[in-house]
């Protein structure tokens, strides 16, 4: 190691930690960290505004590793920079986020160094990556958040938010469609705080990228209105420094830095080949690479003297100073603008402002009623008025999803003005969902809206919101065949149930306007669980709550909406959303025939699951086996609540293009059909 500059020592430490960790785990991806170590090091050491002593400092620069398979690169940085651990309730600890022990338990059960970086698990991981494209997609939401926070909360002499979002990404990210959606949006919105650094190493798993990919990435990004820079050699620290400076100086558009690198740099045979991508190097290559770095073959996991100190003197010292300046500035800001400072405090802790629910509407009974997308829009606006950091928009469907914020001052977030609260994602559902996650990670309550059918276009990001345990909000309207004439391409069948299959995701399908208010309350209070709010296109009656149980029961996921009259129930009708009123009508018909039916409204399986067993048994008494579920989606899964012997009224096929009345007849969503099924259940068919 003699003669190596301290910077080179640091870079080679990152490389060898990654190589040794993958070797020990006999699993992982050494090649990208080996190639990218100088790129990441130069960024962290010279540029990143980040204080390892306070990894949740709100104005820190964000670093996203979109090529998440290179996780050891990030873990090495977090370890060497001495990033501290932070608890779930935002307490900064003295202990490291990633210890040497963690590095040595890479990819092992319960370690903080899982195969791909996980936001929920490891402090310093700013977003979960691994599914290629998600990191770059999410980074656009993070940059929107930074821009919005700055435009909204900065005051003359008080630049409270001016952080940047730096993203490392690879060939895989460039090939994934979501990167196109996200880059197009970021370019249009002139997100000057965003920089993607593209590891252009010409290698993916199957071999050379020319097997499947020959884009001119520079031209592509220029066409998206990005500032495009090229660094010819990933080991050229000076060229990297220049590129980073140029990115910082470019404030009117995002920057793309294309860095030519060699995967597995230094490995005698595997360098520049796909063999360096996703497997341990093996003894010989490992030794050969270390030799090439002028590194001793053993001990493994070597951190030479001076390396940690170097990080302290670089990113550590800079971050400490910047944060101290910011803290002082924020203390003055708090004096000058106490209300704004209070908002920021609450936002950072995911708390609600006082009076957030003061205007939430209660809707009068109305037999004609209104579509839940319409009541949803009213509740959203009433909520947003008093929850100033609720920000969102639709994928070009706001007139249909009713998600536009229409009150005075709501404003639009556009290229010229980043302060507005209405976002326009364009027809980019996947990037929208990823960006909403980026907002949520940035502590903004972000929502994205489209038709329920198009959750399929957004699903990878919806899934990640749940894995990350961040409260992203997805408003999904046109929730069934009830949307009518648009037909089977637009009619969700399996979507509702498949969303329920995502662990931790709240799927909320209110039956009327008042349940919609209740569901928005659940969403507003949620700190960890993302939610999909599922709303109708068509009108549904607003139930008379002086006759039926209060809508507050909806917060429990399921409740007895209408009890059987004249004795214990003989059969339970379980409905969700628009089908609840069908159950209510059927109950009446059954009563006329002397059959006692209970109606359970079940807007959310997940909320119901959270209730104590006694409550669940009150709503669905285990002894009462005669049950009918009614939902305009796949019947798949309803046996869970109606049992093997129960009846499931739902969809068994795709829908059809027709007026809603004809569809309801054709697919059996009629009072007569529900009555018939209930009678069969009680043996009176
Ligand atoms: C959405 C998605 N598809 C497939 C994979 C599997 N996968 C992991 S890495 C990789 C190749 C990525 O190539 P590149 O981004 O060039 O990374 P490099 O090999 O250069 O490190 C693939 C296909 C994935 N993680 N995510
Ligand atoms: Mg590659």
Q: Which atom of ligand 1 is nearest to the CA of 460?
A: 1
Backbone angles phi, psi at 591, to 5 degrees: -60, -40
In tens, the pLDDT along 621-633 reads 999 999 999 999 9
State the average pLDDT over residues 379-395. 98
Asked if 126 is an active-site residue, the reply is no
8 Å CB contact between 520 and 559: no
For β-strands 366-371 and 539-542, DSSP reports them as antiparallel
Measure CA of the first residue to CA of the last residue in the chain; give whole Å.
87
Under DSSP, the state recorded for 151 is: H
Structure tokens at 288: 């050969």
160 with 217, same domain: the answer is: yes
- Which residue is it, tokens 């038709």? 451
CA-nearest residue for atom 8, ligand 1, is 69
The pLDDT mean for the chain works out to 98
Residues 392, 448: contact at Cβ < 8 Å? yes
Q: Based on the domain organization, do 269 and 219 belong to the same domain?
A: yes
How far, in Å, is the centroid of ligand 1 from the Cα of 401? 35
The C-alpha atoms of residue 148 and residue 418 are separated, in whole angstroms, by 5
The reported pTM is 0.98
Instruction: Grade residue 82 by pLDDT with cuts at 50, 70 and 90.
Output: very high
Residue 55 in any domain: the answer is yes
Other CB atoms within 10 Å distance of the CB of residue 179: 27
> Does 175 lie in the same domain as 121?
yes
pLDDT of 311 = 98
- Quote the tokens at residue 589: 């018909």
Please tell me the distance from the alpha carbon of residue 388 to that of residue 72, in angstroms, as a whole number: 38
Residues paired with 412 in a beta bridge: 422
Residue ranges of the alpha helices (H) in 427-501? 429-441, 455-468, 495-500
Give, for ligand 1, the residue of 35, 69, 196 to mutate: max count of ligand atoms closer than 8 Å to Cβ.
69
Contact present, 628 and 589 (Cβ < 8 Å): no
Ligand 1 atom, smallest distance to 31 CA: 21
Q: Extract the tokens encoding 550.
A: 């209060």
Closest ligand 1 atom, residue 173 Cα: 15
Domain-embedded: residue 223: yes
Helix (H) or strand (E) holding 137: helix 134-153
Length of the chain: 685
Judged by its nearest atom, the ligand closest to the C-alpha of residue 34 is 1
Alpha carbon nearest to ligand 1 atom 19, residue: 204
Residue 457: strand, helix, or coil:
helix
For residues 509 and 684, the model is more confident at 509
Q: Is residue 671 part of a domain?
A: yes
Alpha carbon separation from 65 to 22, 39, 84, 104, 282 (Å, rounded):
18, 12, 19, 20, 25
Name the closest-CA residue to atom 21, ligand 1. Answer: 32
Q: Are 640 and 469 in contact (CB under 8 A)?
A: no
Contact by Cβ (8 Å): 81, 123 = no
Cα 298 from chain centroid (whole Å): 42
Same domain, 531 and 563: no
CA 295 to CA 301: how far, in whole Å?
Answer: 11
How many structural domains does the chain have? 3
> Are residues 485 and 572 part of one domain?
no
What is the Å distance from ligand 1's center to 554 Cα? 43
Query: How many Å lie between the centroid of ligand 2 and the Cα of residue 207?
Result: 9
d(CA 336, CA 170): 45
Taking the CA of residue 68 as reference, the ligand 1 atom at the shortest distance is 25
Tell which one of 22, 172, 203 to mutate to probe ligand 1, the residue whose CB is within 8 A of the most ligand atoms. Answer: 172
Q: Please enumerate in sequence order all residues whose Cβ is within 8 A of that of 462, keeping only pairs 6 or more positions apart, or say none.
A: 433, 455, 472, 474, 499, 502, 505, 530, 532
* Nearest CA residue ID for atom 25, ligand 1: 131
What's the count of helices (H) and strands (E) in the chain, helices before strands? 25, 22
What pLDDT is attached to residue 323?
A: 98
**Contact partners, residue 418, CB within 8 Å, separation at least 6:** 144, 147, 148, 150, 151, 189
The CATH number of the domain where 634 resides is what? 3.40.50.920
Across 455-474, average pLDDT: 98
Structural domain including 154 reads: 6-321
Coil, helix or strand at residue 25: helix
Ligand nearest to the CA of 168: 1
pLDDT interval class at 2 (50, 70, 90): confident
Cα(133) to centroid(ligand 1), Å? 9
Residue 543 Cα to ligand 2 midpoint, Å, equals 57
Q: Are strands 92-96 and 84-86 parallel, antiparallel or unpaired?
A: antiparallel
559's tokens: 């409740």
Phi and psi of 635, rounded to 5°?
-75, -15
* Ligand 1 atom at shortest distance from the alpha carbon of 116: 25
Looking at the fold, whether 55 and 131 belong to one and the same domain comes out as yes
- Ligand number with the minimum distance to the CA of 32: 1
Calculate ∠ Cα 214-218-223, nearest 5°. 105
Question: In the structure encoding, which two tokens stand for residue 676, read together?
Answer: 């018939």
Q: Which atom of ligand 1 is nearest to the CA of 174?
A: 15
Q: Which two tokens stand for residue 571?
A: 């059969």
For residues 475 and 567, membership in a common domain is answered with no
* 351 lies in some domain: no
Buried b (16+ CB within 10 A) or exposed e, 79-93: bbbbbbbbeeeeeee
pLDDT recorded at residue 685 = 78
Question: Same structural domain for residues 450 and 428?
Answer: yes
In a domain, 281, yes or no: yes
Give the tens place of pLDDT for each residue, 593-613: 999 999 999 999 999 999 999
The pick from 15, 31, 132, 261 for probing ligand 1's pocket by mutation, whose C-beta has the most ligand atoms within 8 angstroms, reads 132
CA of 469 to the centre of ligand 1 (A): 24
Q: How far is CA 673 from CA 384, 584, 634, 663, 685, in A?
A: 41, 13, 17, 13, 11
- Distance, in Å, from the CA atom of 504 to the CA atom of 493, rounded to the nearest integer, reads 21
Q: Supply the pLDDT for residue 363.
A: 98
The ligand minimizing its distance to the Cα of 36 is: 1
Confidence of residue 6 (pLDDT cuts 50, 70, 90): very high
DSSP annotation of 643: T
> In whole angstroms, what is the distance from residue 261 CA to residue 253 CA?
25
How far, in Å, is the centroid of ligand 1 from the Cα of 136?
A: 13
Q: 3-state SS of 547-599?
A: CCCCHHHHHHCCEEEECCCCCCCCEEEEECHHHHHHHHHHHHHHHHCCCCEEE
Within a domain: residue 349? no
Single out the residue in 492, 517, 541 at which a domain terminates.
Answer: 541
* Inside any domain, residue 270: yes
What's 312's DSSP letter? I
The pLDDT of residue 474 is 99
**Statement to judge: residues 372 and 317 lie in one domain:** no
Ligand lying nearest the CA atom of residue 200: 2
For ligand 1, atom 22: residue with the closest CA: 205
Virtual torsion, Cα 301, 306, 309, 314, nearest 10 deg? -100
Q: Which residues pair with 207 in a beta bridge?
A: 204
Of 591, 583, 679, 678, the C-alpha closest to 630 is 583
Helices 134-153 and 177-188 pack at an angle, to 10 degrees, of 20
Shared domain for 510 and 620, answered yes or no, is no
Output the CA angle 503-508-511, nearest 5 degrees.
150
Among 429, 570, 579, 606, the one annotated catalytic = 429
Atom of ligand 1 lying closest to residue 169 CA: 15
Report how far ligand 1's centroid is from the alpha carbon of 24 (Å). 22
**pLDDT score of 85:** 98
238 lies in some domain: yes
List Cα–Cα distances, 647 to 510, 644, 671, 681, in angstroms. 22, 8, 14, 7
Domain end: 513, 541, 569, which one?
A: 541
* Residue range 338-382, pLDDT digits in tens: 999 999 999 999 999 999 999 999 999 999 999 999 999 999 999
Same domain, 206 and 314: yes
CA angle, corner 401, sides to 395 and 403, nearest 5?
85
Question: Which band of pLDDT confidence, cut at 50, 70 and 90, is reported for residue 493?
Answer: very high
Same-domain status, 427 and 501: yes
Q: Could you tell which of 73, 177, 204, 434 is best to mutate to test the pocket of ligand 1, judged by most ligand atoms within 8 Å of the CB?
A: 204
Q: Specify the CATH number for the domain of residue 490.
A: 3.40.50.970
Q: Which residues line ligand 1 (CB under 6 A)?
A: 31-32, 67, 69, 130-132, 170-172, 176, 199, 201, 203-205, 263, 277
Instruction: Write down which residue in 541, 569, 593 finishes a domain.
Output: 541
Residue 388 — very low, low, confident or very high, per pLDDT cuts 50/70/90? very high
What is the spatial distance between Cα 133 and Cα 114, in angstroms, rounded to a whole number?
19
Distance from Cα 205 to the centre of ligand 1, integer Å: 7
């Amino acid at each position: 190691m003699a003669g190596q500059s301290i910077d080179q020592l640091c870079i080679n430490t990152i490389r060898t930690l990654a190589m040794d960790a993958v070797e020990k785990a006999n699993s992982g991806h050494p090649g990208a960290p080996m190639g990218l170590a100088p790129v990441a090091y130069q960024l962290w050491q010279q540029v990143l505004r980040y204080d390892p002593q306070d990894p949740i400092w709100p104005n820190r620069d964000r670093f996203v590793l979109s090529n998440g398979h290179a996780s050891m690169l990030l873990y090495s940085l977090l370890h060497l920079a001495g990033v501290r651990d932070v608890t779930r309730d935002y307490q900064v600890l003295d202990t490291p986020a990633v210890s040497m022990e963690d590095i040595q338990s890479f990819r092992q059960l319960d370690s903080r160094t899982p195969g791909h970086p996980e936001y929920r698990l490891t402090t310093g991981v700013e977003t979960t990556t691994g599914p290629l494209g998600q990191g770059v997609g999410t980074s656009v939401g993070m940059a929107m958040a930074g821009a919005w926070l700055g435009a909204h909360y900065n005051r003359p002499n008080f630049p409270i938010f001016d952080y940047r979002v730096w993203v490392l990404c690879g060939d895989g990210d460039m090939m994934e469609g979501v990167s196109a959606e996200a880059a197009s949006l970021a370019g249009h919105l002139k997100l000057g705080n965003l920089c993607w650094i593209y590891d252009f190493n010409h290698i993916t798993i199957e071999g050379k990228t020319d097997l499947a990919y020959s884009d001119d990435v520079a031209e592509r990004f220029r066409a998206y209105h990005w500032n495009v820079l090229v660094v010819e050699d990933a080991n050229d620290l000076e060229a990297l420094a220049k590129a980073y400076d140029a990115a910082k100086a470019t404030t009117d558009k995002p920057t793309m830095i294309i860095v030519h690198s060699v995967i597995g740099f230094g490995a005698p045979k595997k360098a520049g080949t796909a063999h360096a991508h996703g497997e341990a190097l093996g003894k010989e290559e490992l030794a050969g690479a270390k030799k090439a770095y002028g590194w001793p073959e053993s001990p493994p996991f070597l951190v030479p003297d001076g390396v940690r100190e170097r990080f302290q003197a670089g990113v550590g010292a800079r971050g400490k100073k910047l944060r101290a300046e910011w803290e002082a500035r924020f203390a003055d800001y708090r004096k000058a603008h106490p209300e704004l400072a209070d908002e920021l405090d609450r936002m950072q802790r995911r708390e609600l402002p006082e009076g957030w629910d003061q205007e939430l509407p209660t809707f009068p009974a109305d037999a004609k009623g209104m579509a839940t997308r319409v009541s949803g829009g009213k509740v959203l606006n009433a909520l947003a008025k008093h929850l100033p950091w609720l920000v969102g928009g639709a994928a070009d469907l706001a007139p249909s999803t009713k998600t536009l914020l229409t009150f005075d001052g709501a404003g639009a977030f556009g290229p010229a003005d980043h302060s507005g609260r209405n976002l326009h994602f364009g027809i980019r559902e996947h990037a929208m969902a990823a960006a909403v996650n980026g907002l949520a990670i940035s502590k903004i309550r972000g929502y994205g809206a489209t038709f329920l059918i198009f959750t399929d276009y957004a699903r990878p990001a919806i899934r990640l919101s749940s894995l990350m345990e961040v409260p992203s909000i997805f408003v999904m309207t046109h929730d069934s065949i009830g949307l009518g004439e648009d037909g089977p391409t637009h009619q969700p069948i399996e979507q509702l149930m498949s969303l329920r299959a995502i662990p931790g995701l709240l799927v909320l399908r209110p039956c009327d306007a008042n349940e919609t208010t209740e569901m928005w309350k659940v969403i507003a209070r949620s700190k960890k669980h993302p939610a999909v709010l599922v709303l109708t296109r068509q009108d549904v009656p607003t139930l008379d709550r002086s006759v039926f149980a209060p809508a507050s029961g909806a917060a429990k996921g399921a409740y007895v909406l209408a009890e059987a009259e004249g004795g214990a129930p003989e059969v339970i009708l379980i409905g969700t959303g628009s089908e609840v009123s069908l159950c209510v009508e059927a109950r009446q018909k059954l009563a006329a025939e002397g059959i006692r039916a209970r109606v359970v409204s079940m807007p959310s399986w997940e909320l119901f699951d959270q209730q104590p067993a006694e409550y669940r048994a009150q709503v669905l008494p285990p002894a009462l086996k005669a049950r009918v579920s009614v939902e305009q989606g796949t019947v798949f899964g309803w046996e869970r609540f109606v049992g093997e012997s129960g009846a499931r009224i739902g969809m068994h096929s795709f829908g059809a293009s027709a007026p809603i009345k004809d569809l309801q007849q054709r697919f059996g969503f009629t009072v007569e059909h529900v009555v018939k099924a209930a009678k069969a259940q009680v043996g009176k068919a």
